Amino acid sequence: MDVLLLPFKWIYRGLVWFANSPRTLIISYLLMIVVAGVIYGHVENRSAADAVWWAVVTASTVGYGDISPVSWQGRTLAALLISTMVLLVIPLITAHFASQLIVDDDAFEHEEQEQLKADVRRMRALLEEIAARQGIDLPDLPPERPVSGPGAPVSGPGSAAPPWARSGRSDRRRRPR
Protein backbone atom coordinates (compact mmCIF):
# COMPACT_ATOMS: atom_id res chain seq x y z
CA MET A 1 0.00 0.00 0.00
CA ASP A 2 2.85 2.40 0.81
CA VAL A 3 4.26 1.84 -2.67
CA LEU A 4 1.02 3.06 -4.21
CA LEU A 5 1.11 6.23 -2.11
CA LEU A 6 4.77 6.97 -2.83
CA PRO A 7 4.16 9.11 -5.97
CA PHE A 8 1.58 11.16 -4.08
CA LYS A 9 4.03 11.69 -1.21
CA TRP A 10 6.65 12.90 -3.69
CA ILE A 11 4.15 15.24 -5.31
CA TYR A 12 3.12 16.54 -1.88
CA ARG A 13 6.73 17.12 -0.82
CA GLY A 14 7.45 18.84 -4.12
CA LEU A 15 4.46 21.14 -3.69
CA VAL A 16 5.48 21.96 -0.13
CA TRP A 17 9.02 22.80 -1.26
CA PHE A 18 7.64 24.76 -4.18
CA ALA A 19 5.14 26.69 -2.05
CA ASN A 20 7.70 27.60 0.62
CA SER A 21 10.09 29.24 -1.79
CA PRO A 22 8.97 32.67 -3.02
CA ARG A 23 11.89 32.79 -5.42
CA THR A 24 10.80 29.49 -6.99
CA LEU A 25 7.20 30.66 -7.24
CA ILE A 26 8.13 33.90 -8.98
CA ILE A 27 10.62 32.24 -11.30
CA SER A 28 8.09 29.55 -12.23
CA TYR A 29 5.45 32.19 -12.92
CA LEU A 30 7.77 34.14 -15.16
CA LEU A 31 8.98 30.97 -16.87
CA MET A 32 5.39 29.89 -17.54
CA ILE A 33 4.61 33.29 -19.07
CA VAL A 34 7.67 33.21 -21.32
CA VAL A 35 7.24 29.58 -22.41
CA ALA A 36 3.51 30.01 -23.04
CA GLY A 37 4.22 33.24 -24.93
CA VAL A 38 6.85 31.61 -27.14
CA ILE A 39 4.61 28.63 -27.90
CA TYR A 40 1.61 30.89 -28.54
CA GLY A 41 3.62 33.16 -30.83
CA HIS A 42 4.79 30.14 -32.83
CA VAL A 43 1.36 28.46 -33.04
CA GLU A 44 -0.65 31.61 -33.78
CA ASN A 45 1.98 33.47 -35.86
CA ARG A 46 2.13 36.47 -33.51
CA SER A 47 4.98 38.78 -32.58
CA ALA A 48 6.93 38.09 -29.38
CA ALA A 49 5.47 41.19 -27.70
CA ASP A 50 1.88 40.19 -28.59
CA ALA A 51 2.50 36.61 -27.48
CA VAL A 52 3.89 37.61 -24.08
CA TRP A 53 1.07 40.12 -23.63
CA TRP A 54 -1.44 37.36 -24.41
CA ALA A 55 0.28 35.04 -21.89
CA VAL A 56 0.16 37.66 -19.11
CA VAL A 57 -3.49 38.53 -19.77
CA THR A 58 -4.47 34.87 -20.03
CA ALA A 59 -2.48 33.72 -16.99
CA SER A 60 -3.96 36.49 -14.86
CA THR A 61 -7.43 35.43 -16.11
CA VAL A 62 -8.23 39.03 -17.08
CA GLY A 63 -8.91 38.10 -20.71
CA TYR A 64 -9.20 41.49 -22.42
CA GLY A 65 -10.05 39.77 -25.68
CA ASP A 66 -7.77 41.95 -27.77
CA ILE A 67 -5.66 38.89 -28.61
CA SER A 68 -7.18 35.43 -28.52
CA PRO A 69 -6.25 32.06 -29.99
CA VAL A 70 -8.01 30.80 -33.10
CA SER A 71 -6.31 27.41 -33.57
CA TRP A 72 -7.04 24.36 -31.41
CA GLN A 73 -3.38 24.31 -30.33
CA GLY A 74 -3.62 27.91 -29.12
CA ARG A 75 -6.88 27.22 -27.29
CA THR A 76 -5.42 24.11 -25.67
CA LEU A 77 -2.39 26.13 -24.56
CA ALA A 78 -4.72 28.80 -23.16
CA ALA A 79 -6.71 26.19 -21.24
CA LEU A 80 -3.52 24.68 -19.78
CA LEU A 81 -2.11 28.08 -18.84
CA ILE A 82 -5.34 29.21 -17.18
CA SER A 83 -5.82 25.91 -15.35
CA THR A 84 -2.24 25.79 -14.10
CA MET A 85 -2.33 29.37 -12.89
CA VAL A 86 -5.77 29.18 -11.25
CA LEU A 87 -5.41 25.73 -9.71
CA LEU A 88 -1.74 25.71 -8.74
CA VAL A 89 0.42 28.82 -8.99
CA ILE A 90 -1.93 31.55 -7.71
CA PRO A 91 -3.13 29.46 -4.73
CA LEU A 92 0.46 28.58 -3.82
CA ILE A 93 1.54 32.22 -3.96
CA THR A 94 -1.49 33.24 -1.89
CA ALA A 95 -0.90 30.47 0.65
CA HIS A 96 2.77 31.38 1.00
CA PHE A 97 2.10 35.03 1.71
CA ALA A 98 -0.84 34.20 4.02
CA SER A 99 1.35 31.82 6.02
CA GLN A 100 3.90 34.59 6.46
CA LEU A 101 1.22 36.90 7.82
CA ILE A 102 -0.26 34.32 10.19
CA VAL A 103 2.48 33.62 12.71
CA ASP A 104 1.68 32.65 16.27
CA ASP A 105 3.98 34.85 18.34
CA ASP A 106 2.93 33.04 21.51
CA ALA A 107 3.89 29.58 20.26
CA PHE A 108 6.83 28.01 22.04
CA GLU A 109 9.77 26.82 20.00
CA HIS A 110 11.08 23.29 20.54
CA GLU A 111 13.98 24.43 22.72
CA GLU A 112 11.62 26.44 24.93
CA GLN A 113 9.31 23.44 25.30
CA GLU A 114 12.21 21.22 26.31
CA GLN A 115 13.38 23.83 28.84
CA LEU A 116 9.89 24.02 30.33
CA LYS A 117 9.74 20.22 30.64
CA ALA A 118 13.11 20.18 32.40
CA ASP A 119 11.97 22.95 34.76
CA VAL A 120 8.79 21.02 35.62
CA ARG A 121 10.84 17.89 36.32
CA ARG A 122 13.13 19.88 38.66
CA MET A 123 10.15 21.41 40.43
CA ARG A 124 8.59 17.96 40.85
CA ALA A 125 11.85 16.63 42.33
CA LEU A 126 12.03 19.58 44.75
CA LEU A 127 8.39 19.14 45.69
CA GLU A 128 8.95 15.44 46.37
CA GLU A 129 11.98 16.29 48.52
CA ILE A 130 10.02 18.86 50.54
CA ALA A 131 7.07 16.47 50.89
CA ALA A 132 9.39 13.70 52.12
CA ARG A 133 10.85 16.04 54.79
CA GLN A 134 7.35 16.98 55.92
CA GLY A 135 6.08 13.39 55.79
CA ILE A 136 3.46 14.14 53.13
CA ASP A 137 2.51 11.53 50.52
CA LEU A 138 2.25 12.96 47.02
CA PRO A 139 -0.11 11.43 44.47
CA ASP A 140 1.54 9.31 41.78
CA LEU A 141 2.25 10.91 38.43
CA PRO A 142 0.28 9.71 35.43
CA PRO A 143 2.38 7.47 33.16
CA GLU A 144 4.41 9.35 30.56
CA ARG A 145 3.34 9.00 26.96
CA PRO A 146 5.96 7.47 24.70
CA VAL A 147 7.79 9.80 22.34
CA SER A 148 7.75 7.27 19.52
CA GLY A 149 6.16 3.97 18.80
CA PRO A 150 2.55 2.83 19.07
CA GLY A 151 0.29 5.25 20.85
CA ALA A 152 2.68 8.16 20.38
CA PRO A 153 1.22 11.56 19.68
CA VAL A 154 1.24 12.47 15.98
CA SER A 155 2.53 15.99 15.72
CA GLY A 156 6.02 16.80 14.63
CA PRO A 157 8.11 16.57 11.50
CA GLY A 158 9.95 13.55 12.91
CA SER A 159 6.80 11.52 13.41
CA ALA A 160 6.01 8.53 11.28
CA ALA A 161 2.65 9.99 10.29
CA PRO A 162 2.19 11.24 6.74
CA PRO A 163 2.58 15.01 6.35
CA TRP A 164 -1.14 15.61 5.86
CA ALA A 165 -1.92 13.95 9.23
CA ARG A 166 0.47 16.11 11.21
CA SER A 167 -0.74 19.12 13.07
CA GLY A 168 1.21 22.28 13.69
CA ARG A 169 4.26 23.71 12.05
CA SER A 170 7.83 23.06 13.00
CA ASP A 171 9.21 26.15 11.30
CA ARG A 172 7.38 28.83 13.26
CA ARG A 173 9.28 32.05 13.52
CA ARG A 174 9.14 34.35 16.45
CA ARG A 175 9.75 38.03 16.20
CA PRO A 176 12.44 39.37 18.51
CA ARG A 177 11.00 41.36 21.39
Question: Which residue type does 33 have?
Answer: I
Statement: residue 61 has pLDDT above 90: no
Question: pTM score, two decimals?
Answer: 0.53
What pLDDT score does 177 carry? 46
Average pLDDT over residues 118-129: 92
What pLDDT score does 161 carry? 53
Among 68-72, 111-115, 135-139, 142-146, the range scoring the smallest mean pLDDT is: 142-146
* pLDDT tens profile 2-47: 888 888 888 888 877 877 787 888 888 899 999 999 999 999 999 9
* Residue 76 pLDDT class (50, 70, 90 cuts): very high
Statement: residue 112 has pLDDT above 60: yes
Statement: residue 154 has pLDDT above 60: no
CA dist 107 → 11, 39, 104, 135, 163 (Å): 29, 48, 6, 39, 20
Residue partners of 18: CB distance under 8 A and separation at least 6: 24, 25, 28, 92
